[in-house]
Amino acid sequence: MIRALWRWLTNAGRETPPAPAAPPAEPASTAPAPDATDTPALPGLPFLIRPFEPHDGPALTAVFQAAVHTTATDHYDADQRAAWAAGADAPGFQAALADGLTMVAEWDGRPAAFAQLVERRVTFVYVHPDAARLGIATLLYHHLEDEARIQGLDELVTEASLVARDFFAFLGFEVDGEESVQRQGVSLPRTRMRKRLA
Ligand SMILES: CC(C)(COP(=O)(O)OP(=O)(O)OC[C@H]1O[C@@H](n2cnc3c(N)ncnc32)[C@H](O)[C@@H]1OP(=O)(O)O)[C@@H](O)C(=O)NCCC(=O)NCCS
């Protein structure tokens, strides 16, 4: 899928598909699954990449929690996922969504993923499990990398979850070290990674 998407991007000069006619109706947590059997042939992928808007908070929170509770099940146990997901209830989480550059992917008019760059750090990258492995996070990331290059940054760093480590490696990040972060008294292992842009 990802290779097909890149072929499409290359051919289309990274043009953003037109916005769906219908406005977002419900938070992503209730969004219908983007059924692969319904996915039209490229280049008609029905998603849109756009900057964060203030009204996105609830939908992005739902994406965050769904990604943690569902996509991370193979790498973190229930206590770890609960502690991680509780981050969305922490003071400052909603405000943090607006930090730096946050790009949102809408699927069929509803937020399905988001990614954020704050200075040289890729902070958030979360994709709703129903939209996983379709290349959406890759598309979001490349918007962030483009912005970093425009800003003249010579590297990007991230603290990758165990779920996201292969994703960042796919994007060219290299391992810088292992660490654990404490959330609600629970230890969450993660990997420091960096990518040179120069
Ligand atoms: C990590 C995450 C953002 C990836 O989103 P995604 O849209 O599914 O990723 P993409 O489809 O763009 O993947 C691109 C490539 O990265 C690699 N990759 C992505 N997810 C992977 C996984 N779970 N296991 C192994 N490789 C993976 C693959 O090489 C993939 O290409 P392929 O599908 O052709 O094999 C998503 O799984 C997620 O939200 N995880 C839970 C939350 C999380 O850990 N966020 C990061 C916090 S640091």
Q: Which of 139, 167, 119 is nearest to 43 (CA)?
A: 139
Please write the tens of the pLDDT for every residue from 42-75.
445 678 999 999 999 999 999 999 999 999 999 9
Distance 64 CA to ligand 1 centre (A): 14
Amino acid 108: pLDDT: 85
Q: CA torsion, points 98, 99, 105, 109, in degrees to nearest 10?
A: 10
3-state helix, strand, coil in the chain (%, to 5): 40, 30, 30
Distance 137 CA to ligand 1 centre (A): 7
- DSSP secondary structure of 11-43: HHTTPPPPPPSSPP-S-GGGPPP--GGGPPPTT
Cβ of residue 161 lying under 6 Å from some atom of ligand 1: yes
pTM for this entry: 0.83
Cβ of residue 153 lying under 6 Å from some atom of ligand 1: no
Distance 87 CA to ligand 1 centre (A): 21
Please write the tens of the pLDDT for every residue from 76-102.
999 999 999 999 999 999 999 999 999
Superfamily per CATH, domain 46-153: Gcn5-related N-acetyltransferase (GNAT) (3.40.630.30)
> What residues does each domain of the chain span?
46-153
Could you tell me which residues are beta bridge partners of residue 181?
188
